[in-house]
């Protein structure tokens, strides 16, 4: 039985569908500004993690340049919006410029270095990402340096924009939610992310996805049945770069701020790696689960620990251990436990439930 | 003209010269058997034809086209399939996915697929099963099926009977006979009885050199030659 048709696969797909529904109705279900920020970040990171999984999970490519492409997309849109004003022409030009630069860099890195051993390729991507990070920090005139760039998004996404006017001339509400530009901004991020995720899902489900999995499993065997491994790996590297760049553009429009910390830092790269490992490599569903859990932990683990510390205030030691400032320590513990109990990631491990065991 | 010509092929693996001046003519049609003891250079010969090792000097021509220096993937696309000794299947993929990989368009020719599943009915039974879960015989069937899922001019098969149960070896021989009606097979084999039942032409490799070549009928009749080259009675 294929792993995609097991009982576990059904559980994972149901969970992902529930997450999708929660994200679709997020503005109505969680009516506070922070929750909407979290939902938008989850949407962006699902795309970013899924595109990284195309590399590491489906093709076996270890790259540290994924945030570089994300950052290039974000900076492209940010610079265009800053320089040209908040029109859609700036969004289009900035996004296309970011994609074009990402594509050129991906082709160059791919063709020059995907022939070498995996460790050398990883080092080359690390070097390229470092160079771009330093450039973004130092080219003050263009990128705003360490402070980054603040700009206005298209007026459709302005909180002052009324998507739907009530009888009193003020912005209308639906189930208590204001029909304003903020809502439009969220759905722009949600729909862009959904379209990109579905694209990657179709890609991995197509014969191309099968070829990628074959390359990951054994390059020489894939070549012996007629596949040019370097060409395929370069192609996938380019696709992943373009998707990451588009995710970056989308995030730049949502945040209305782009800086090294939000778009290019290695902390983002580490987050992506953790999300891929937690969710499960080689499955698009894993990207959704990993991104959701990690972003929720980053935003709400502190609050949860504050509650727990308050509830155990009368007990010895425990309140000190549960101090909110120790949230990173607990995140580390949770990560170790997840890796121990779900060695193939949450989705990867659960999807094996109901599959035949080896050694028949 | 031969389908495959190997001329003065020498292959080095690292600092070791494994093949010395191998020359072979594989005619079109039927089964050509390459015999030899362990470590004689049979597998290296197949790998050199596929471009997995680069012979230098020497040349390999297929239908008059020089394969020397050509990329393995290009050689495969010329219509040469390779079934390695370890079967070369992708354990993490299903039976269906393993076969789809070897199709030119990502779609099956239904008539051809029906012929293959008639040859190897187990593949249809385990169609959606991941290949690592198959038995050794089923994995070998999958490897051979993958080689013939598209029309090929030449199939290189390395020791297909190794570790298989006698009943499966018999089924495999039947399958090869049918496949050889439309395709040339270059078969590396240590099981002489199996090879004899299939081969029309043959060669023996000894220490990286061609020690004998001719028809299988002549070789099968010469017991002394068999003993000297293959040490069958030892």
ipTM reported for the complex, 2 dp? 0.84
Q: Please indicate whether, in this complex, the C-beta atoms of A224 and B106 are within 8 angstroms of each other.
A: no
Counting one residue from chain A and one from chain B, the pairs whose CB atoms sit within 8 A come to 74
On whether any CB of chain A is under 8 Å from the CB of B177, the answer is no
pLDDT value at residue B143: 93
pLDDT value at residue A358: 47
Residues A209, B99: contact at Cβ < 8 Å?
A: no
pLDDT value at residue A258: 96
- Residue of chain A whose alpha carbon sits nearest to that of B83: A224
Please tell me which of the candidates A206, A213, A224 has its beta carbon nearest to residue B88: A224
Q: Distance from B78 to chain A by nearest Cα, in Å? A: 9
Q: Distance from A224 to chain B by nearest Cα, in Å? A: 6
On whether any CB of chain B is under 8 Å from the CB of A217, the answer is yes
- Per-residue model confidence as pLDDT tens for chain B (234 residues): 689 999 999 888 888 888 898 999 999 999 999 999 888 899 999 999 999 988 778 889 999 999 988 999 999 999 999 999 888 899 989 999 999 999 988 889 999 999 999 989 999 999 988 899 898 889 999 999 999 999 999 999 999 988 888 888 888 888 899 899 889 999 999 888 899 999 999 999 999 999 999 999 999 998 888 888 887 554
Share the mean pLDDT of chain A. 91
Q: What share of chain B is helix, strand, coil (3-state, %, to 5)?
A: 35, 25, 35
pLDDT value at residue A184: 95
pLDDT value at residue A4: 62
Q: Please indicate whether, in this complex, the C-beta atoms of B133 and A358 are within 8 angstroms of each other.
A: yes
Q: Distance from A260 to chain B by nearest Cα, in Å? A: 39
On whether any CB of chain A is under 8 Å from the CB of B90, the answer is yes
Instruction: Spell out which residues of chain A touch residue B52, defining contact as CB-CB under 8 Å.
Output: 220, 224
The percentage of chain A sitting over the pLDDT mark of 90, rounded to a whole number, equals 72
User: Any idea which architecture A3-350 has in CATH?
Assistant: Orthogonal Bundle (1.10)
Please tell me which of the candidates A210, A228, A358 has its beta carbon nearest to residue B101: A210
pLDDT value at residue A337: 93
Q: Where are the domains of chain A?
A: 3-350
pLDDT value at residue A142: 93
pLDDT value at residue B56: 78
Burial of A325: CB neighbours in 10 Å, binned 0-12, 13-18, 19+:
exposed
Express each pLDDT in A192-222 by its tens digit: 999 999 999 999 999 899 999 999 999 889 9
Residues A244, A51: contact at Cβ < 8 Å?
A: yes
Express each pLDDT in A68-96 by its tens digit: 999 999 999 999 999 999 999 999 999 99
The vertex-A118 CA angle with A112 and A122, nearest 5°, equals 75
Q: What is the pTM of this model?
A: 0.86
Mutation for B interface: A58, A217, A226, A354, most B CBs within 10 A: A226
State the span(s) of chain B assigned CATH 3.40.50.300: 4-79+152-230
pLDDT category at A290 given cuts 50, 70, 90 is very high
pLDDT value at residue A155: 92
Q: Please indicate whether, in this complex, the C-beta atoms of B90 and A228 are within 8 angstroms of each other.
A: no
Q: Mind giving me the DSSP string for B154-181?
A: EEEEE-TTTT--HHHHHHHHHHHHHHTT
Please give the class, per CATH, of domain B4-79+152-230.
alpha beta
pLDDT category at A2 given cuts 50, 70, 90 is low
Give me the mean pLDDT over the A254-269 stretch.
95
């Amino acid at each position: 039985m294929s792993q995609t048709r097991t009982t576990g696969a059904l559980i994972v797909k149901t969970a992902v569908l529930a997450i999708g529904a929660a994200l679709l109705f997020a503005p109505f279900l969680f009516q506070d500004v922070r929750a909407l920020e979290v939902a938008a970040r989850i949407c962006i990171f699902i795309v970013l993690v899924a595109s990284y999984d195309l590399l590491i999970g489906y093709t076996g490519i270890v790259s540290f340049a994924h945030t570089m492409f994300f950052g290039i997309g974000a900076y492209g849109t940010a610079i265009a919006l800053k320089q040209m004003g908040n029109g859609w022409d700036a969004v289009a030009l900035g996004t296309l410029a970011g994609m074009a630069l990402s594509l050129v860099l991906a082709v160059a890195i791919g063709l020059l270095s995907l022939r070498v051993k995996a460790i050398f390729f990883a080092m080359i991507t690390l070097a390229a990402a470092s160079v771009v990070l330093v450039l973004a920090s130092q080219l003050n005139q263009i990128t705003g340096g360490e402070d980054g760039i603040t700009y206005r998004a298209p007026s459709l996404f302005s909180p002052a924009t009324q998507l739907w006017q009530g009888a009193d001339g003020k912005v209308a509400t639906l189930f208590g939610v204001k029909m304003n530009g903020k809502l439009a901004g969220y759905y722009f991020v949600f729909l862009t992310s959904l379209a990109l995720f579905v694209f990657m899902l179709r890609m991995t489900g197509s014969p191309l996805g099968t070829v990628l999995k074959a390359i990951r499993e054994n390059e020489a065997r894939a070549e012996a049945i007629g596949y040019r491994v370097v060409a395929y790996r370069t192609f996938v590297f380019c696709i992943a770069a373009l998707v990451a760049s588009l995710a970056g553009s989308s995030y730049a429009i949502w945040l209305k701020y782009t800086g090294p910390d939000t778009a290019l830092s290695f902390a983002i790269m580490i987050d992506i790696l953790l999300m891929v490992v937690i969710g499960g490599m080689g499955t698009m569903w894993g990207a959704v689960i990993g991104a959701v859990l990690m972003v929720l932990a980053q935003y709400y683990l502190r609050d949860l620990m504050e509650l727990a510390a308050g509830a155990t205030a009368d007990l010895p030691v425990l309140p000190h251990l549960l101090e909110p400032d120790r949230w990173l320590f607990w995140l580390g513990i949770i990560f170790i436990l997840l890796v121990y109990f779900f060695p193939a990631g949450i989705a990867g491990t659960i999807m094996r439930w109901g599959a035949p065991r080896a050694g028949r | 003209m031969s389908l495959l010509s190997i001329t003065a092929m020498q292959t080095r693996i690292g600092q070791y010269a494994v093949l010395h001046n191998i020359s072979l003519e594989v005619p079109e049609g039927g089964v050509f058997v390459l015999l030899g003891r362990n470590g004689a250079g049979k597998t290296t010969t197949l790998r050199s034809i596929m471009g997995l090792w680069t012979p230098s000097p020497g040349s390999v021509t297929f239908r008059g086209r020089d394969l020397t220096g050509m990329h393995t993937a290009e050689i495969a696309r010329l219509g040469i399939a390779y079934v390695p000794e370890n079967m070369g299947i992708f354990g993490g993929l299903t039976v269906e996915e393993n076969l789809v990989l070897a199709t030119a368009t990502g779609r099956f020719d239904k008539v051809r697929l029906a012929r293959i599943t008639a040859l190897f009915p187990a593949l249809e039974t385990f169609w959606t099963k991941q290949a690592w879960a198959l038995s050794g015989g089923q994995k070998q069937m999958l490897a051979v099926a993958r080689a013939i899922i598209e029309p090929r001019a030449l199939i290189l098969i390395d020791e297909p009977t190794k570790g298989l149960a006698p009943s499966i070896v018999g089924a495999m021989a039947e399958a090869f006979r049918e496949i050889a009606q439309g395709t040339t097979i270059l078969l590396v084999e240590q099981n002489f009885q199996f090879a004899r039942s299939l081969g029309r032409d043959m060669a023996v490799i000894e220490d990286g050199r061609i020690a004998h070549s001719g028809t299988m009928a002549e070789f099968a009749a010469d017991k002394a030659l068999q003993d000297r080259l293959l040490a069958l009675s030892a």
